[in-house]
């Protein structure tokens, strides 16, 4: 089973085109022919032909709504137009098409032989884990995904983990779809909160209670026990935030999140970039003074009101730093696109950020802000408390050690970012079968099990070009192939929609089809024809590839043994 793949045959790679593209060409061509025959002014680009896999199999393998979409332009009724298109298509049937039917209000339904699925399987095997499902929709676009960026004043909370899983998976999806991706964490290592942290720490070193508004957590007590630095608020705060950041980093690495860049807010202030940015806005007449502070006329640019850039005490605000930071992203580091992932509790800063970016001469459409809605946890019937300043709140570390890294990742990626989700820790803890990660990883383990059993029974997988994949005709086998065939589109959709949870949905579906296949289609039993067994072994390998790609995008492991 672990035998290396036979070398891909070049003709396989160069001649394979997804059936969808071939059908789109045929449909566009037929529409053109009909238009010419009827003297209509109708040109259809194959890229715009909508082809879908009907939910119900009796509606065929593929379907297009082209007649309904173009009927109005053509000035005819959809059924009549569809009839003409079908007639043209039937003169030269597209690849694998064995029947074309008109249905409903004007759908053109294609019935295909199973060959298109066998071709798709061959493509999966030829391209492999590394090459399959790499739709190039980014064309090398340089995109930065900034996410988490939690203040280093305490352990990060569960929401950070959820949104962080999103940011990381999105980065993976973008990288796989032809984007040049960089992951970044913006470290808010300056300002009042660091002083507050320092005050809290110093209070604890003296054995005092933390002052009003300070950080109450046990971690401050623990850090205080180690602190032997100067009795200076800023120095103490810096020291503590460094320690906390190291812990955050370790926590994130434990769920597979690794950043390319940890960008210091203090460094950008010290570089003078903040002053430059304010001066730049000032030179455009967008800054004025009031009550001793410098204000940015952001209301002119779509914000609900103006914002302070420099406080009366001379300190730059967070916004001023953030604008300098974004100027650096676009104009200094040259990202084509920046995606910021924030928690919904930072919603209030979006409008001013957008206004500032625009004022700095950057096309605001190059900046996307994704807001993750709040996450809440329950443990059975009990609500779980979260929150940094509270005492005994549950943090991300605790959850990870409770349910494990894989469950943490897949659960965060089950629902969309826009959904304020509630998760029940009790239902996914350890041996519980309610955890979807088990269902998916079980498929992975079964794939591994087939390999182990094959070795045990001395069965070896023959080279692909000696195996007849067309022997795969069982409905369960074809379901697996249909699912695998969709993966490139799933990756593309996930990238375009910035929605890695689409990959989660797909992975669960692949696991489901695989379990069905595994249940009904014996591979290594004595009464299976050897040629069929060979074809099934390759189907198993393709499933392994698909699962590895999907789980890889989610940052979830694909264990061979459970």
Partner RNA sequence: GCCCCUGUAGCUCAGCGGAUAGAGCGUCGCCCUCCGGAGGCGAAAGCGCAGGUUCGAUUCCUGCCAGGGGCACCA
Is there binding between residue 209 and RNA (CB under 7 A)?
no
Is there binding between residue 515 and RNA (CB under 7 A)?
yes
N-terminal to C-terminal alpha carbon distance within the chain: 18
Residue 197 or 236: the one with the smaller Cβ distance to RNA is 197
Contacts 24+ apart (CB under 8 A), 85-88: 85/27, 85/30, 85/31, 85/34, 88/30, 88/33, 88/34
Backbone conformation region of residue 335, classed left if phi is above 0, alpha if psi is from -120 to 50, else beta: beta
Among 134, 449, 471, 474, binds RNA (CB under 7 A): 449
Instruction: Please check whether residue 546 is in contact with residue 484, taking contact to mean a CB–CB distance below 8 angstroms.
Output: yes
Residue 68 or 324: the one with the smaller Cβ distance to RNA is 68
Is there binding between residue 368 and RNA (CB under 7 A)?
no
Is there binding between residue 273 and RNA (CB under 7 A)?
no
Residue 116 or 127: the one with the smaller Cβ distance to RNA is 116
Is there binding between residue 510 and RNA (CB under 7 A)?
no
Residue 48 or 422: the one with the smaller Cβ distance to RNA is 422
Is there binding between residue 58 and RNA (CB under 7 A)?
yes
Is there binding between residue 249 and RNA (CB under 7 A)?
no
How many C-beta neighbours within 10 Å does residue 528 have?
A: 14
* Number of residues located near RNA, criterion CB under 7 A: 94
* Candidate segments 5-13, 190-198, 232-240, 332-340, binder of RNA by CB under 7 A: 190-198
Is there binding between residue 317 and RNA (CB under 7 A)?
yes
Site for RNA in 288-307 (CB under 7 A): 290-293, 304
Is there binding between residue 83 and RNA (CB under 7 A)?
no
For 458, counting Cβ atoms within 10 Å of its Cβ (0-12 exposed, 13-18 middle, 19+ buried), the class is: exposed
Contacts 24+ apart (CB under 8 A), 90-97: 92/26, 94/22, 94/23, 94/25, 94/26, 95/19, 95/22, 96/19, 97/23
Q: Are strands 51-52 and 62-64 parallel, antiparallel or unpaired?
A: antiparallel
> What are the structure tokens assigned to 540, written together?
């198993």
Residue 75 or 272: the one with the smaller Cβ distance to RNA is 75
Site for RNA in 9-48 (CB under 7 A): none
Is there binding between residue 473 and RNA (CB under 7 A)?
no
Is there binding between residue 227 and RNA (CB under 7 A)?
no
CB of 22 to RNA, least distance (A): 18
Q: What is the DSSP string of 332-352?
A: IS--SEEEEEEEGGGGGGHHH
Q: Could you tell me which of 140, 146, 392 has the C-alpha nearest to residue 259?
A: 146
CA–CA separation, 210 vs 204, rounded Å?
7
- DSSP, collapsed to helix, strand or coil, labels residue 41 as coil
> What are the structure tokens assigned to 135, written together?
């739709």
* Candidate segments 204-212, 214-222, 276-284, 310-318, binder of RNA by CB under 7 A: 310-318
CB of 77 to RNA, least distance (A): 9
For 516, counting Cβ atoms within 10 Å of its Cβ (0-12 exposed, 13-18 middle, 19+ buried), the class is: middle
CB of 359 to RNA, least distance (A): 18
Q: Are strands 107-112 and 97-103 parallel, antiparallel or unpaired?
A: antiparallel
Residue 127 or 438: the one with the smaller Cβ distance to RNA is 438
Among 18, 54, 229, 552, binds RNA (CB under 7 A): 54
Residue 127 or 514: the one with the smaller Cβ distance to RNA is 514
Instruction: Please check whether residue 201 is in contact with residue 236, taking contact to mean a CB–CB distance below 8 angstroms.
Output: yes
* Candidate segments 31-39, 86-94, 234-242, 511-519, binder of RNA by CB under 7 A: 511-519
Residue 247 or 346: the one with the smaller Cβ distance to RNA is 346
CB of 310 to RNA, least distance (A): 8
Among 203, 362, 521, 551, binds RNA (CB under 7 A): 521
What does each C-alpha distance from 443 to 341, 451, 535, 543 come to in angstroms?
32, 13, 18, 9
Among 373, 408, 412, 543, binds RNA (CB under 7 A): 373
Residue 319 or 323: the one with the smaller Cβ distance to RNA is 319
Contact pattern for RNA over residues 130 through 169, marking x by CB under 7 A: ---------------------x------------------
């Amino acid at each position: 089973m672990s035998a290396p793949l036979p070398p891909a045959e070049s003709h396989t790679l160069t001649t394979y085109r997804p059936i969808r593209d071939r059908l789109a060409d045929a449909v566009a061509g037929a529409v053109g022919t009909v238009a010419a025959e009827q003297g209509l002014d109708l040109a259809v680009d194959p890229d715009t032909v909508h082809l879908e896999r009907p939910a119900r199999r009796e509606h065929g393998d593929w379907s297009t709504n082209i007649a309904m979409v173009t009927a109005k332009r053509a000035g005819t009724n959809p059924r009549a137009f569809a009839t003409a298109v079908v007639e043209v298509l039937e003169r030269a049937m597209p690849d694998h098409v064995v029947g074309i039917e008109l249905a409903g209000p004007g759908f053109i339904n294609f019935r295909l032989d199973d060959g298109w699925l066998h071709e798709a399987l061959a493509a999966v095997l030829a391209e492999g884990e590394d090459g399959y499902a790499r739709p190039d929709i980014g064309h090398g676009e340089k995109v930065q995904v900034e996410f988490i960026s939690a203040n280093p004043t305490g352990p990060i909370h569960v929401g950070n983990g959820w949104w962080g899983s999103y940011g990381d998976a999105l980065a993976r999806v973008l990288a796989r779809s032809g984007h040049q991706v960089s992951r970044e964490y913006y470290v808010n290592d300056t300002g009042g909160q660091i002083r507050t942290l320092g005050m809290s720490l110093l209070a604890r070193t003296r054995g005092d209670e933390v002052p009003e508004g300070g950080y109450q957590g046990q971690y401050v007590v623990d850090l205080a026990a180690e602190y032997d630095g100067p009795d200076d608020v800023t120095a103490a705060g810096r020291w503590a935030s460094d320690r906390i950041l190291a812990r955050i980093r370790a926590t994130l690495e434990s769920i597979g999140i690794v950043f390319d860049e940890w960008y210091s807010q203090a460094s950008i202030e010290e570089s003078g970039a903040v002053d430059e940015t304010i001066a730049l806005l000032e030179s455009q007449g967008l800054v004025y003074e009031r009550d001793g502070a410098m204000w940015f006329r952001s209301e002119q640019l779509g914000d609900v009101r103006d914002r302070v850039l420099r406080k009366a005490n001379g300190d730059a605000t967070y916004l001023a730093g953030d604008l300098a930071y974004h100027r650096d992203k676009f104009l200094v580091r040259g990202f084509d696109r920046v995606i910021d992932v924030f928690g919904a509790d930072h919603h209030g800063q979006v409008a001013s950020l957008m206004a500032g970016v625009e004022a700095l001469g950057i096309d605001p459409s190059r900046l996307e802000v994704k807001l993750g809605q709040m996450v809440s946890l329950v443990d059975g019937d009990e609500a779980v408390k979260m929150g940094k300043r509270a005492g005994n709140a549950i943090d991300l570390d605790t959850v990870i050690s409770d349910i494990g890294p894989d469950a943490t990742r897949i659960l965060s990626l089950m629902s969309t970012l826009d959904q304020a989700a509630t998760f029940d820790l009790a239902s996914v803890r350890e041996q519980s079968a309610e955890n979807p990660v088990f269902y998916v990883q079980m498929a992975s383990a079964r794939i591994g099990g087939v390999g182990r059993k094959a070795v045990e029974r001395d069965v070896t997988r023959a080279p692909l070009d000696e195996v007849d994949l067309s022997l795969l005709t069982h409905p369960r086998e074809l379901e697996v192939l249909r699912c695998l065939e969709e993966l490139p589109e799933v990756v593309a959709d996930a990238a375009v929609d910035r929605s890695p949870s689409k990959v989660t949905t797909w992975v669960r579906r692949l696991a489901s089809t695989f379990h069905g296949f595994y249940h009904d289609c014996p591979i290594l039993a004595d009464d299976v024809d050897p040629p069929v067994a060979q074809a099934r072994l390759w189907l198993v390998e393709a499933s392994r590839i698909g699962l590895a790609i999907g789980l890889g995008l989610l940052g979830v492991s694909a264990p061979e043994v459970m």
